[in-house]
Structure 1
C-alpha cells in the first residue's frame, strides 16, 4: 500500500469515519496517520499534494493539519515524556527505526503527545485497520486504489457485524477564506484610505520554532503575517498570530487600522 491509499473506518459512536494512511512504502518514514472526519480528509489531501508548484511547503501543511500519527523512528525522535512512559511500561526498543511513538497534530500547535480521547480513538481505529490490512493481504477483498477506490469498514448495528467493501473516496476540497466586506462602515473607511501605486505581497507562514504559553495546554507553532513592498523588495510589517486568530481579520487590520 502507498501512503495515499486510504482505509476509511466508521467507528461505533462516531458520526463520521476516520481515514487511515499507512506510510513506509518508500522506506523513508514509517507510520500510520489517522484523520478524523471529512475535515480530516481535506487535511490529508492538502498534505498529499504539498510542495507542488506555487503551493504551500510540506512544513506549512504539516503544521496546518489535524491528525494523529504513530511513528516507528529513531530514539532521538521520541518525545521525552513518551520515553518516560516507555520505561515505566518496561518496553524496550533497540536500533534505528525501531522506536515507537505517537504525535497529535493540531493546527497552530507543535506536534504533541496524545490526550486520553485521542488515544482511545486511535486504539479502536488500529483494531479496524489490522483487520482491513489482513483482508487485503489475504486477498479476501479487492480494492483498486490506483483508480481512486478506498477500503471502507463499518459496523452494521442490525447484524452486529463489521462489513468491508471497496468504494469511492468522498469528494474533498479545501475551502480557503475570501475577503468579503459586508460592513458598510468598514468599506467606507477603506475607500477613504489614501491611494498609492505600491504593490503589496502578503504571506502567511508557520515559524519553525516552538513557543510555550501558559494560556494554552500545548506548545504553539505560531504563524506570522508578512507584508512586503513588492517593488522595493522590502518587508513592511510582521505580525505574530495566535491559534484563534482569523486570517482575514489580521490582514484587514493591517490595511484598515
Structure 2
C-alpha cells in the first residue's frame, strides 16, 4: 500500500459505511467466531473479518490482514495465544467509543467533515493495529478505502446468512467464505467463494549483525572461567515510547543468573533492532564479568540465532525450555521498576 493520506471524500465514505454498519447491528446476528474473508481489490490480500459486539462490551469490526494475522485471530478465539494480542495483532479496526477515547486529530477530523455524534459507544474510531506499535488512527488512503469496502461487504454477508450464520463457520477443509470482486475500483462486482488462506512464506532466518572477531578474541583472552546457567529472553515491554510519528512498544532483552536470580543485563530497543541488541547485551556482560555460563536456557529458538556467533565462539551449550522461572520473576521486577518511573 502506498502512504498517501486519504481524501475528505474517502473519509466521508468510511464514516457513512460505519454508520450503515451500526444501523445494521450486525453483532445481533454474528459472534466474533463467525470469521469470513473480504478480498482487498487493491492488492488482492484477504482481510479476515471479525464482528465485535455480541457480548455487549465493544462494538465494531476488526479486519485481520493476511494469513499470519488470521492465525493470530484464530489462536485468540481458541485461547491458545501465547503472546499478548497487543503485540501480535495486525488489523484495521472500527470501534464505537465514547468521545474521551478519541485522539485530538480524530475529533478535529470529525468536526471538519461536519459530523456529529453524542453519547457512549457512538463515536467511530478507525485504528491500525500493528505488532509492536500503539494502536493509531488510520491515515493511508488504501486502508481507508479497504475498511469501507470491508464494512459494506460485512453487511452483505450478515444479511445473506443471518438466518443461518453458522453456515460460515470454518469448514473441515479449512476454507473460509470470502467475498471476491471483479471489475475496476468504481464498478466492483462481488461474489462468494470458499477459499483456503494463502500459504505463509517461510520465515526469514533470524540473524544478528556479525560481531567483530577481534572483539570476540579479546573477550576470550580475558576469561577467568565458567559459571552456572544464565536464562536469556526478550519480550515486548508494556511501556509505550513516544518518539517520531507513532508511539511504539519497545522490546526488552533480559539476562538472568538462574541460581541467584540476579539480573545480569537488560536493555530496550525497537523490535527491528532486537537481534543486535541481544547479541550486544550478552557480549557486554561477558566482557564485564570475564566469565561465561556453562549453559544458557531459552524458551524460544530465535534467541539461539541472535546469539549464535557468540555461543559457538565460547562453546556455550543451549537448552530450549518451555518456561524460565528466573526470567519470569525478573520480568515482573523490571516492569514494576520501569512503570514506577513513567
Aligned position for 2:135: 111
Aligned position for 1:68: 92
Would the alpha carbon gap of residues 67 and 177 (structure 1) be closer, same or farther in structure 2, given more than 3 Å must change? farther
CA contact (8 A) 2:208 2:279 kept: no
Larger radius of gyration: 2
Please report how far the alpha carbon of residue 166 of structure 1 lies from its aligned counterpart in structure 2 after TM superposition.
4.0
Aligned position for 2:40: 11
Aligned position for 2:150: 125
Write out aligned runs for 1:1-257 (5 A): 1-48=30-77, 55-56=82-83, 58=84, 61-117=85-141, 118-137=143-162, 142-145=167-170, 149-156=175-182, 161-168=189-196, 192=220, 194=223, 196-213=226-243, 216-245=244-273, 247-257=274-284
Please report how far the alpha carbon of residue 122 of structure 1 lies from its aligned counterpart in structure 2 after TM superposition.
1.3
Please report how far the alpha carbon of residue 146 of structure 1 lies from its aligned counterpart in structure 2 after TM superposition.
7.3
> 2: distance between equivalents of 1:235 and 1:176?
31
- What is the TM-score when the length of structure 2 is the normalising length? 0.60
Please report how far the alpha carbon of residue 114 of structure 1 lies from its aligned counterpart in structure 2 after TM superposition.
0.5
How many residues align? The count is 247
Deviating more after overlay: 72-81 vs 88-97: 88-97
Please report how far the alpha carbon of residue 6 of structure 1 lies from its aligned counterpart in structure 2 after TM superposition.
1.6
CA contact (8 A) 2:128 2:138 kept: yes
Q: Any unmatched runs of 5+ in structure 1?
A: none
> 1: distance between equivalents of 2:78 and 2:233?
19
Please report how far the alpha carbon of residue 112 of structure 1 lies from its aligned counterpart in structure 2 after TM superposition.
0.9
> 2: distance between equivalents of 1:43 and 1:140?
22
Would the alpha carbon gap of residues 212 and 121 (structure 1) be closer, same or farther in structure 2, given more than 3 Å must change? same
Query: What do you get for the CA RMSD once the two structures are aligned?
Result: 3.6
Please report how far the alpha carbon of residue 42 of structure 1 lies from its aligned counterpart in structure 2 after TM superposition.
3.6
> 1: distance between equivalents of 2:171 and 2:31?
10
> 1: distance between equivalents of 2:192 and 2:166?
8
- What is the TM-score when the length of structure 1 is the normalising length? 0.77
SS in 2 for 1:198: strand
Would you tell me which structure has more helix in proportion to its own residues? 2
Deviating more after overlay: 16-25 vs 135-144: 135-144
CA contact (8 A) 2:181 2:190 kept: yes
CA contact (8 A) 1:201 1:228 kept: yes
SS in 2 for 1:86: helix
> 1: distance between equivalents of 2:197 and 2:67?
11
1:46-90 CA deviation, whole Å, 9 max, x = no partner? Answer: 5445676xx33x3xx313332211111222222222122223333
SS in 1 for 2:137: coil
Would the alpha carbon gap of residues 142 and 51 (structure 1) be closer, same or farther in structure 2, given more than 3 Å must change? closer
Deviating more after overlay: 136-145 vs 101-110: 136-145
Please report how far the alpha carbon of residue 153 of structure 1 lies from its aligned counterpart in structure 2 after TM superposition.
1.0
Please report how far the alpha carbon of residue 172 of structure 1 lies from its aligned counterpart in structure 2 after TM superposition.
6.4
SS in 1 for 2:157: helix
Aligned position for 2:327: none
